[in-house]
A and B are shown apart, each in its own frame.
Chain A
Amino acid sequence: MNVHTLPFLVFTALILALYYLLPRRYQHPLLLAASYLFYSTFAWWFAAALALVTAVTYGCGQGIAARGRPRLWLAVGLAVNLAGLVSFKAAAFLHIETTDAVSRFGLPTEINSLRILLPIGLSFYVLQAISYLLDLYRRQLDGPGSWMELALYLSYFPKLTAGPIEKTTDFFPALRATRIVDNTLVSKGVCLVLIGLLRKVVVADTLLLAIPPAVFQSPEEFSSWALLYWLVIFAFGLYNDFCGYTNIVRGVSSLFGIDLTRNFNNPFMFRNIADLWTRWHVSLSTWLRDYIFFPLSRALLKRRPSPRNLLNVSLPLLVTMVASGFWHGSQLNFLVWGVWMGLLMTAERLVALYRPVKPAHQRSRLARVAAFVYFRIVVFAGLIVFVLDLTTAGRYFAALANNTAGAMPDMRIALALLPGLFIDVAQATGRRETVFLDWPLGIRVLLTALALAAVLVFAQSRPGTAFIYQGF
């Protein structure tokens, strides 16, 4: 049951109705039951895996809180969670490799024994389980909380399949706080859901379905211009797909009175690579920063206090970005992408260490334009490696450089970008994601009607696609 489909909207409406009919003490059990029911619609054993992770994490959390042997319980909890994540990622990698090998010999690949699925959302809730254990160990959480709170932290259905990855220090207090769902919160929720549906159904699906599959399989058949064009279309498709998902689930969660983290902030306006990670998939970047980059940097800086020491600069960045790559998948291309990002960020850091920062009015416009172009080239180069296996990525780069003759791509597809860009510009200039709620009533009614009509027409006219990030 995907979050942009009619069954999910009906499911949410039913749970919302029950939620508001029930007294407060029954609301959490209802949300937990709804979350497991929702998860079971993908596969029953996904729910079993989640229950197992929850039980182990809760048990280890109790051990840490008891202060008997907290380090041992932390180690056990981390080991079990990481082992689960690594083994599923490795199994998915082996599955891909085995399927490739089998198909090379002309054998059918749809054999049940080869079908090893990564539970949807596992990569997201395992990171949250690790946060819980580490925050408890470092006493940043006021006690282990009840099993119900932990179970909801890991399973809360709006964020279960693809985040946002919530902080314990935000989510646990939110569960305990008095919940007042007033007109403001309902307006915000509905506005976010509508923006999310527009981004997913109208923008992302149009862009992603328009990309000829051969672009990423036989790039030699396309001109450089076409390859570049489809890469940009894919990048905006991916952004609207994931941002659309996040908007929908945050909007739904607002209706339950629980605020979830904003995951995107005009990512294509990034000033440099470090800035990109404060705008794209912010909850993952924050997790990696808080639990890998900061502790490792701090430990190295205390050992060798010089911020210019090459190891102090490069190691935390490389480890963090390789971890990010592995989180996306265990295939080699993700690891190469992680190393590429780590090296780019190391170079960026080294430049910053030696170049004085000037006030904005003294900075050269040409330098800013050059930086704008440079950062987009290196990030889009990384995207090719991120999306394709290494061999195909190499062929893609070669085809981009060769500039063979080919048909012009259908430029009309780019028109589908407009609603997404309109939302981005409005949010950036209004400095608020629900800035539309401040606009005059007539314009709001008109825009709502247009958005609803567009979503209905596009949803009716073709089959949609699943969210890309659910695959991680």
Chain B
Amino acid sequence: MTMTASEIREKLKQYICRAILKNPDYPLTPQDRLVSGGLIDSYSLVTLAVFIEGEFGVRIPDTELNLDNMDTIDLMTDRILKELPSDDPV
């Protein structure tokens, strides 16, 4: 079964608010800047990478755990979707 972008966003949001921000009610949006906005740091990026690997089966290489791929939930979702098999016919 393929996950949709909105499902991935929701799972990421729940994990970040609960496990990283320790505040399930945090009003986080998919566009909020997490790393450059000071909400999460390098320590949390690796926790997030391990979560993504376990939850979605997508291993984001260490050298790609950066602002380009991980600064917002939208960017993370795009990066995950790049690796997931697509239902769309080629």
If A359-B26, A359-B27 touch, does A140 touch B61 (CB 8 Å cutoff)?
yes
Q: Which residues of A contact B61 (CB under 8 A)?
A: 138, 140
With A and B bound together, what is the CA distance between A307 and B41 in angstroms? Answer: 14
- Which A-chain residue is minimally distant from B40 (CB atoms)? A357
If A169-B63, A307-B19 touch, does A275 touch B38 (CB 8 Å cutoff)?
yes
- B50 contacts the other chain (CB 8 A): yes
- A95 contacts the other chain (CB 8 A): no
- B84 contacts the other chain (CB 8 A): no
Of B42, B62, B63, which contacts A298 at CB under 8 A? B62
Q: Which residues of A contact B63 (CB under 8 A)?
A: 135, 140, 167, 169, 290
Q: Which residues of A contact B41 (CB under 8 A)?
A: 272, 274-275, 352
If A290-B63, A298-B46 touch, does A271 touch B38 (CB 8 Å cutoff)?
yes
Give, as a whole number of angstroms, the nearest-CB distance from A289 to chain B.
6
- Which B-chain residue is minimally distant from A265 (CB atoms)? B36
Size bin of chain B's contact surface:
20 to 34
If A135-B63, A274-B41, A275-B38 touch, does A297 touch B46 (CB 8 Å cutoff)?
yes
Task: Tell me if A352 and B43 are in contact (CB < 8 A).
Answer: yes
Task: Annotate A346-370 by CB proximity to B: 1 below 8 A, 0 otherwise.
Answer: 0001001111111100000000000
A residues 227-281 near B (Cβ < 8 Å) are: 271-272, 274-275, 277-278
Task: Tell me if A302 and B50 are in contact (CB < 8 A).
Answer: yes
Give, as a whole number of angstroms, the nearest-CB distance from A324 to chain B.
13
Give, as a whole number of angstroms, the nearest-CB distance from B5 to chain A.
25
Of B26, B35, B62, B66, which contacts A295 at CB under 8 A? B62
Task: Tell me if A357 and B19 are in contact (CB < 8 A).
Answer: no
- A8 contacts the other chain (CB 8 A): no
Q: Which residues of B contact A286 (CB under 8 A)?
A: 66
- Which A-chain residue is minimally distant from B21 (CB atoms)? A357
Task: Annotate A183-195 by CB proximity to B: 1 below 8 A, 0 otherwise.
Answer: 0000000000000
- B75 contacts the other chain (CB 8 A): no
Task: Tell me if A291 and B19 are in contact (CB < 8 A).
Answer: no
A residues 291-332 near B (Cβ < 8 Å) are: 291, 293-295, 297-298, 301-302, 305, 307, 313, 317
Of A138, A295, A354, which contacts B22 at CB under 8 A? A354
Task: Tell me if A294 and B38 are in contact (CB < 8 A).
Answer: no
Task: Annotate B40-57 by CB proximity to A: 1 below 8 A, 0 otherwise.
Answer: 011111110110000000
Q: Which residues of A contact B47 (CB under 8 A)?
A: 301, 307
With A and B bound together, what is the CA distance between A307 and B22 in angstroms? Answer: 13
Q: What number of residue pairs across chains A and B have CB atoms under 8 A from each other?
A: 64
Task: Tell me if A356 and B23 are in contact (CB < 8 A).
Answer: yes
- B3 contacts the other chain (CB 8 A): no
Which has the most chain A C-beta neighbours within 10 Å: B22, B23, B62, B66? B62
With A and B bound together, what is the CA distance between A150 and B22 in angstroms? Answer: 45
Q: Which residues of B contact A352 (CB under 8 A)?
A: 41, 43-44
Task: Annotate B1-15 by CB proximity to A: 1 below 8 A, 0 otherwise.
Answer: 000000000000000
Give, as a whole number of angstroms, the nearest-CB distance from B48 to chain A.
10
Q: Which residues of A contact B43 (CB under 8 A)?
A: 274, 297, 313, 317, 349, 352
Task: Tell me if A291 and B38 are in contact (CB < 8 A).
Answer: no
- B58 contacts the other chain (CB 8 A): no
With A and B bound together, what is the CA distance between A270 and B23 in angstroms? Answer: 24
- B65 contacts the other chain (CB 8 A): yes
Q: Which residues of A contact B50 (CB under 8 A)?
A: 298, 301-302, 305
With A and B bound together, what is the CA distance between A356 and B25 in angstroms? Answer: 10
- Which B-chain residue is minimally distant from A139 (CB atoms)? B61
Task: Tell me if B22 and A357 are in contact (CB < 8 A).
Answer: yes
If A275-B41, A302-B50, A349-B43 touch, does A357 touch B62 (CB 8 Å cutoff)?
no
Task: Tell me if B21 and A274 are in contact (CB < 8 A).
Answer: no
With A and B bound together, what is the CA distance between A349 and B43 in angstroms? Answer: 8
Which has the most chain B C-beta neighbours within 10 Å: A140, A286, A291, A352? A352
With A and B bound together, what is the CA distance between A291 and B62 in angstroms? Answer: 8
Q: Which residues of A contact B19 (CB under 8 A)?
A: 307
With A and B bound together, what is the CA distance between A277 and B39 in angstroms? Answer: 15
If A275-B38, A293-B46, A297-B46 touch, does A356 touch B62 (CB 8 Å cutoff)?
no
A residues 25-81 near B (Cβ < 8 Å) are: none
With A and B bound together, what is the CA distance between A278 and B66 in angstroms? Answer: 11
Of B22, B23, B42, B62, which contacts A274 at CB under 8 A? B42
- Which A-chain residue is minimally distant from B63 (CB atoms)? A290
- Which B-chain residue is minimally distant from A277 (CB atoms)? B42
Task: Tell me if A301 and B46 are in contact (CB < 8 A).
Answer: yes
Q: Can you offer 20 A-B residue contacts whose CB atoms are under 8 A?
A: A135-B63, A138-B61, A140-B63, A169-B63, A274-B41, A278-B35, A290-B65, A293-B42, A294-B49, A295-B62, A297-B43, A298-B49, A298-B50, A298-B62, A313-B43, A317-B43, A353-B22, A356-B22, A356-B23, A357-B20
Closest 4 CB pairs of A and B: A294-B62, A356-B23, A356-B22, A357-B21
Known A140-B61, A297-B46; 6 more pairs at CB < 8 Å: A169-B63, A272-B41, A274-B43, A294-B49, A298-B50, A357-B22
